[in-house]
A = this chain, B = another copy of it.
Amino acid sequence: MKASEAQALTIGIDLGGTKIAAALVDSGGRILASARKPTRPEKGPEAIVADIATLSASVSAQAEGRPIIGVGVGVAGQVDPATGAVFSAPNLRWKNFPFQEHLETALHKPVSVLNDVQSATFAEWIHGAGRGVADLVCIFAGTGVGGGVVAQGQLVRGAAGSAGEVGHMTVSLAGPLCRCGNHGCVEAFAGGWAIAKRAQEAIRADPDAGAVLLRLAGGDIQRVTAAIVARALNRADPLAKSIVKETGEALGAGAASIVNGFNPALLILGGGVVEGLPELVGIVEETIRRRALPAAAERLKIVRPQLGTHAGAIGAATWVRIGLPPRPFLPS
């Protein structure tokens, strides 16, 4: 890297359904300045483009004269890898919005748009827990379950920009209904919303068994969340234990499918649900060892992410700096 390139900065934007986070990032993935705003999807996509311009200006003002060579944006939606248009972003209520084009007009800088979880995966690969590994998979279990894949030294974006949707792999043909409309997805077991829902159903089915969970939620079954399950688990509550075991086994079965399908050397397992229920990591690991093919599982390492909630913005900033376009090898 030339000295001037090393000096240059990029801006990373993490655009989610509830907030827009901006970060001024250096070549080492370090955040030099940050800013955020609530997302206002009801104002339409142009208002979000304007908000991103405001946030970019705000962090740019802290560049201390260093050049800013581009803006990367990670968005919670499916992004066309060829154009940076957003096919679909349900949380933002967008369909087929030429996002990258609008951003370039507003920002007067090179812009790259990619999916937010792919962006976080890219960050963990280049600057986090996956440094130097050519084949890895990230799984982030939070309210939803998302993921990203690096295969043979390339971030896999997919034909329609939606590669890595590991939360919507089916692990139980007739399993619980998922938010996506499918049944038995990993997310329908391991998403924060699904843990809460299954806990509430279990309490209704057997109030005696659910007594500890209900008490921790102040007697209000609607307030039984994944966090309440974590608290009950700390008190060795048998129902919480069984819910966490089922959650880990479903997440582990999904992870085993990924391990068999992609054969990564590294699985990076994180997200709010995993932070809150660290017991899941052991169950997932044990389930992978039991379910995945030995050849794939033997050489697999499982680690936690290193960049936390800033991964999306760091990844987007890093993507616009060094993210290479796919290089298809298509002989004539």
Contact of A154 among B151, B168, B171 (CB under 8 A): B151
A308, CB-defined interface residue at 8 Å: no
Interface residues on A, range: 35 or more
Interface residues of A in 116-136 (CB under 8 A from B): 126, 132, 134-135
A sample of 28 cross-chain residue pairs with beta-carbon separation below 8 angstroms, ordered by A number, consists of A132-B330, A134-B330, A149-B262, A152-B154, A152-B157, A153-B326, A154-B154, A158-B263, A158-B296, A159-B263, A159-B300, A160-B295, A160-B299, A162-B293, A162-B296, A164-B263, A168-B257, A168-B293, A169-B260, A170-B254, A171-B171, A171-B172, A173-B249, A173-B250, A180-B293, A182-B256, A183-B291, A322-B331
Q: How far is the CA of A316 from the CA of B265 in the complex (A)?
A: 25
A260 contact from B166, B250, B264, B322, Cβ within 8 A = B166
Residues A291 and B78 in contact, CB atoms below 8 Å apart: no
Known: A134-B328, A290-B182, A327-B153. A261 touches B261 (CB 8 A): yes
Q: Is the CB of B153 within 8 A of A329?
A: yes
Interface residues of A in 213-257 (CB under 8 A from B): 249-250, 253-254, 256-257
Give CA–CA (A290, B249) in the complex, Å: 24
- A159 in contact with B135 (CB, 8 Å): yes
| A156 in contact with B162 (CB, 8 Å) | no
Q: Is the CB of B256 within 8 A of A170?
A: yes
Name the B residues within 8 Å of A183 (CB-CB). Answer: 291
* CB-based contact A253/B293 at 8 Å: no
- CB-nearest residue of chain B to A262: B163
Chain B contacts for A87, CB-based, 8 A: 295
> Which of A's residues lie within 8 Å of B, judged by CB?
78, 87-88, 126, 132, 134-135, 147, 149, 151-154, 156-166, 168-173, 175, 180, 182-184, 249-250, 253-254, 256-258, 260-265, 290-296, 298-300, 322, 324, 326-331
> In the complex, A183→B13 CA distance in Å?
42
Residues of chain B with a CB closer than 8 A to A175's CB: 173
By the criterion CB–CB under 8 Å, are A168 and B249 in contact?
no
User: Are A260's CB and B162's CB within 8 A?
Assistant: yes
Q: Which of B170, B249, B261, B329 contacts A253 (CB 8 A)?
A: B170
Using CB atoms, name the residue of chain B closest to A318. Answer: B331
Taking the closest CB of chain B, its distance from the CB of A151, in whole angstroms, is 5
Chain B's nearest CB lies how many Å from the CB of A178? 10
